Structure 1
Amino acid sequence: MARWCTARRRRAGAGDGRPSVPVRLAAVSAVLGVTAALPGGAALAAGTQGGYTFAEDARRIDGASGTAGAALLEPGTAYRGTLPRNGTVHYRLELDAASDAYVSVTAVPRAGDEVTAADGIRMSVRDADGASCSLDSATFGAARSPRPVTAWGVREISSGGTRCQEAGTYYVTVERSRPQDSPPGAWDLELTAATEPPPARTGATRAPETWDSASPEPLVGEPERRAGGSGFARAVPVGQGAWRDDIRPGQTLFYKVPVDWGRQVHATAELDGTDGGSGYATAALRLALHNPVRGEVVDAARGYTGRPATASLAPVPPVAYANRYATGDQVAGMRFAGDYYLVVHLAEQVAEDFGQGPFALTLRVRLEGTAEGGPEYRGEPVPDGVFAVSATDRWAAPQGDADGRGGDSAMTALAVGGIGTGTALLAGLGVWTAVARRRAV
């Protein structure tokens, strides 16, 4: 995993998470845009490769074989490129001397690709002289199942730093980890970049030495249906609760959880048993947590024998700016507030012993701690709000009924199922308008 540092920004809306009527009315327009892109919609087919859905607005970009002619990656923009079996592709960043910069690269192998455990991608961020700012890699692991793999890199400004501190040109390089064992076809890439300005005031410069690392009691209660997304850009929002979906061998599902400063996220994925077939699939069920810039923080995998299996993430600390000063990714990755991603994959090999499914999947999410104010930034992050949790973010993530925490069923229904008819939309607007008028009176 990569090593670095970063900062973030606080956004308004850290109250009780229940937006006012005007906020909810404004959010309806956002739901209209989002739900059209949820799984099952016609929009899902656009930009799909190997079961992964790329950002609809992703720009096509060609990686250069060297630094000369490397195309520019602009923070806040999603890109789509390709990675050949052999060779390294280069991209360019133009950075100032104050902001931290993050780059993520998601590689998507083709369906049916035969991959090895050590195969995957390797990426780096380097300065104009070729000095390394960060290195990271992502491999398919013991399951040897083709799936989207994500690596991330950082150019970080730090007091006393001697490398990668100046303003100017930097380069991002991407290559396959084991090209000699890798499938011959090109892989599609999704690339994103973000910048984080320095905090207005200097705070702690060391990672917290103590935090509650005990695994909490799992949530109990009947899970609610919540279909997962097919890519980071299509990740489906969820809050605390138990969420139910179906998953097929080779499929990857994406969810996102708004996690504010001071809050701690826990998650488990449960795969139901099956009556058909027998055997053992290594590391068949995989669950991973990614931070707001898509960097992987922690993951867990469990084998499958046809009996129920559970993958539980190791505890991670509450979100805190000072976490970035830790040496381990499990702490350092929890350095800013924002949307954290839960990515669930069921290995392709499960089909060999247990059939194509689908298999029932339950995702249990717990959020602990009290939301706190984050550091004020000396400037604006790019994209705007990436390191914050807004009232709209909270509204979009329904709360399940597990442990007796009920959600707003009307709002959840709109967020999950989309607004299928003008009647539903008008009815919802009518209710909210009536409430607003009554409150005004």
Structure 2
Amino acid sequence: MKPRLPLQSGLRAVRAALLAGALGAALWPAGSALAAPQPLPEYRVADGARRIAGKPSTADAPLLETGAVYEDVLAPGERVYRLNLDAASSVYVSAVLHPPPGTAAGYGDGLEVEVMTTGGRSCPGNPGRAAFGYDAVPLGAVGQRLLVEDAECQAAGTYYVKVTRSAAGKDSPRAAWPVELQVRREPAPAAGTAPTAAPGAWPSASPVLPGSDPVPRGGGTGFNDARALGAGVWRDELRPGQTRFYRVPLDWGQQLGIGAEIAKARMTKDYGSASDGLTLALYSPYRGPVESRGTSYDGKQAAVTLPRTAPVAYGNRFADEAAVRGVRVAGWYYVAVTLGGKVGEFTEDAAAVPLTLRVAVSGGGSAAAPAYREGLGAAGFGVGEAERSAAREGLTAPEAAAAREDDRSAMRVVAVAGFGAGAVLLLGGWVLLARRSGRP
């Protein structure tokens, strides 16, 4: 590791102190005097998200540009958008429905995203679906245009995206909810360098999770401010109806094991139980669901562990299992932990409950990255030193961006100071030379 300049070290220390202070304020003991009823935090929309209004049909459907993030509202029903795609990349269109915190959902209500041709035919691998439990928490689904030899949807041109919100029950909410849309582009591999079939067998044993002392890391409200985690044990807190988001960098060939534990709450009744009281979900770098599991919670103790992921590999996109198809590209994988809203019916819903996350990352190097024609980093995928550093320091994406700007500012200050010092030394040399020459 290269040494940091003193000013950079100071900036890092300030950021660390601010982060520790913020976490200390957030992680007050359950039931303490500080646990006053406060609204649950709202989903943080991506900085610079553009307002857009989808249409009920393809007529006059607005354009979604690759690399951009949009914000719309979606009532039960469908909205249509337009895409202009090249013939040299896979494209992922994610929709994240984020109802107001504390909103109930009709069980099984959900979200569907479909990429289709101008003729109305669904492209291979579509639609992408996701469903609510009892709580209307942030929910992501993805439609895609994959580069697959001899398949439909390979040509450049106009395509459409249909985003559908389903409301199956008579008691399902009907109000329009905000939806965040994002278009991500995965460059094509160089000809003949990428696999065209799913990998063979891989280590699938249950993950061995770490048991070290937990370190505080406060999760975010969604994908845009998810807190970075690496391997280790992490501590946070949850209130009933709240979802916390985290992100873990997974490089090619790496596998993720993760478990969540919720501790004892302050009970307001002698007995209570909430099915799906604790839910743990994993999302891909393009915000597609990978795996989700839940367990009941009676206010005393609960835990849930996801199966260890397949090693990250390009060929996983051709697998039969959805959970394997989801780990097809290196990058940030997102973890969402929800404490069910029904838990508030038998516990103090204003008091947060201690949450422990255990993260294990294993493998690496067993599945080499394909030779992409373009860098993955520019598309928002891949794992490099910046991602590993953010995980070590526990930074959200906005904090990591601010840190990079701090470093650039520090380097500019040092460069200016170095130039000034060099000029002074040079001027001093001229004066000394003039004196030795006998000139005034």
Per the shorter chain, which TM-score range?
A: 0.7 to 0.9
Partner Cα distance (1:75, 1:19) in 2: 36
Partner of 1:304: 297
Matched residue SS, 1:394: helix
* 1:301-323, Cα deviation, whole Å (9 max, x unpaired): 11101221111011211111111
C-alpha displacement of 1:355: 2.2
Partner of 1:239: 230
Q: 1:178 aligns with which of 140, 146, 167?
A: 167
C-alpha RMSD of the superposition? 3.2
Change in CA separation of 1:389 and 1:19 when aligned onto 2, cut-off 3 Å = farther
Partner of 1:392: 386
Change in CA separation of 1:113 and 1:226 when aligned onto 2, cut-off 3 Å = closer
Is 1:359 matched up with 2:359? no
Q: How does 1:130-169 map to 2 (within 5 A)?
A: 130-133=120-123, 134-141=126-133, 144-161=134-151, 163-169=152-158
Matched residue SS, 1:368: strand
Larger radius of gyration: 2
Is 1:109 matched up with 2:102? no
Partner of 1:70: 61
Amino acid at match of 1:216: P
* 1:236-284, Cα deviation, whole Å (9 max, x unpaired): 1110111101110111111111111111111001000235232110111
> Does the aligned pair in 2 maintain the 1:60–1:80 contact within 8 Å?
yes
Partner of 2:316: 323
Change in CA separation of 1:257 and 1:216 when aligned onto 2, cut-off 3 Å = same
Is 1:81 matched up with 2:72? yes
> Does the aligned pair in 1 maintain the 2:185–2:379 contact within 8 Å?
no
> Does the aligned pair in 2 maintain the 1:284–1:302 contact within 8 Å?
yes
Partner of 2:50: 59
Partner Cα distance (2:252, 2:217) in 1: 26
Partner Cα distance (2:129, 2:379) in 1: 27
* 1:102-152, Cα deviation, whole Å (9 max, x unpaired): 0110111234433211112222111111000111221112xx112111111
> Does the aligned pair in 1 maintain the 2:72–2:179 contact within 8 Å?
yes
Q: With the length of structure 2 as denominator, give the TM-score of the two structures.
A: 0.79
> Does the aligned pair in 1 maintain the 2:184–2:379 contact within 8 Å?
no
Matched residue SS, 1:72: coil
Change in CA separation of 1:367 and 1:160 when aligned onto 2, cut-off 3 Å = same
Amino acid at match of 1:273: K
> Does the aligned pair in 1 maintain the 2:252–2:313 contact within 8 Å?
yes
Number of residues paired by the alignment? 379
Partner Cα distance (1:40, 1:220) in 2: 22
Change in CA separation of 1:183 and 1:98 when aligned onto 2, cut-off 3 Å = same
> Does the aligned pair in 2 maintain the 1:289–1:299 contact within 8 Å?
yes
* 1:27-76, Cα deviation, whole Å (9 max, x unpaired): 969x97xx89x9789xxxxxx99721111211111111111111111121
Is 1:100 matched up with 2:90? yes
Partner of 2:326: 333
Change in CA separation of 1:169 and 1:311 when aligned onto 2, cut-off 3 Å = same
Stretches of structure 2 that go unaligned for 5 or more consecutive residues are 25-38, 401-405, 419-440
Stretches of structure 1 that go unaligned for 5 or more consecutive residues are 1-17, 42-47, 399-410, 420-424
* 1:197-246, Cα deviation, whole Å (9 max, x unpaired): 21113332221220111012221011000000111010111101111011
C-alpha displacement of 1:296: 0.9
